[in-house]
Amino acid sequence: MIKHLKEVNSTSTYIKEHLSELDNFDIVSAEHQTNGRGRTGHDWEDTDNQNVLMSILIKESSIIESFNILSIAVGVIVRNYLANYLPPRAISLKWPNDVYMNDKKICGILLEGKLPEYVIIGIGLNINQKAFSVDNATSLSLETEYDFKIDNIRNLFFEHLTGELSKFNQNKNKYVESFNRSNYLKSREIKYFDTKRNTEQKGIALDINENGELLVNHDGEVIAVSSSEVSKIR
């Protein structure tokens, strides 16, 4: 089922408030969110009916139990969809699950839920929006110099997303390899929070491992970062 709303505080919040009415792979989308959220509590900016704003509910236990890989997989799925419109080599994936185009964010992804009962995947995909309050954001329209029919893009993306997620268990061993081929942070100096040292550290980002963790070279020691906000330094 797809439920499309003119306006909502957040599509993910809507799903949380209507869990008993919704089933596996049900989608809630909106033309505008008044309280869209990104990672670490950041707001998600959108212009009315210019972007794909949606959340999909996952109740299938075999997918939920691979939560870390699911987070990686969604980024790969979005990247593959965008490759229908953009040069594939110009699209990259910033761990844990942002999609970048020419060093600017074109899509943000947020996974939340109550394990092992359910996961909600929230996606904000910039389509026709032209102006942003931050410098590191872009849209499909800005990158292609073309205005898209948002309803068509939305429907095609939903079809692509649900189709790929329905094959998640068959393909999950391929997602890490696919992510690493488009790893935005690889070989870049980054800062991250080291939970063992309880301090912020600097290191060189490497690949992600089979558990979906980012590997970081810190003074010759390879550290696996599983839940940290990282940012590019250079």
Domains and CATH numbers, the chain: 2-181 (3.30.930.10), 189-232 (2.30.30)
Sequence-distant (6+) residues with CB within 8 A of 233 are 188, 189, 190, 191, 202
Q: What is the pLDDT of residue 69?
A: 92
pLDDT in tens, 197-234: 788 889 999 999 999 999 999 999 999 988 667 777 76
pLDDT in tens, 99-135: 999 999 999 999 999 999 999 999 999 999 999 988 8
- Quickly count helices (H) and strands (E) in the chain: 6, 12
Q: What is the pLDDT of residue 36?
A: 63
pLDDT in tens, 39-58: 544 555 667 789 999 999 99
Q: What is the pLDDT of residue 74?
A: 96
The Cα 225–Cα 216 span in angstroms is 7
The Cα 29–Cα 6 span in angstroms is 9
Which tokens sit at 70? 């699911």
Please give the mean pLDDT across all residues of the chain. 91
The Cα 209–Cα 150 span in angstroms is 36
Long-range contacts, 220-228 (Cβ 8 Å, 24+): 223/194, 223/196, 225/192, 225/194, 226/68, 228/192, 228/193, 228/194, 228/195
Alpha-carbon 216 to chain mean position: 21
Which tokens sit at 66? 């691979």
Q: At residue 59, does pLDDT exceed 70?
A: yes
Which tokens sit at 203? 């290191």
- Four-point Cα dihedral 192, 195, 196, 200, nearest 10: 40
- Which is it for the CA torsion 189, 192, 194, 200, positive or negative? positive
For the beta carbon of residue 65, count every other beta carbon within 10 angstroms.
11
Which tokens sit at 209? 């491992």
pLDDT in tens, 92-106: 999 988 999 999 999
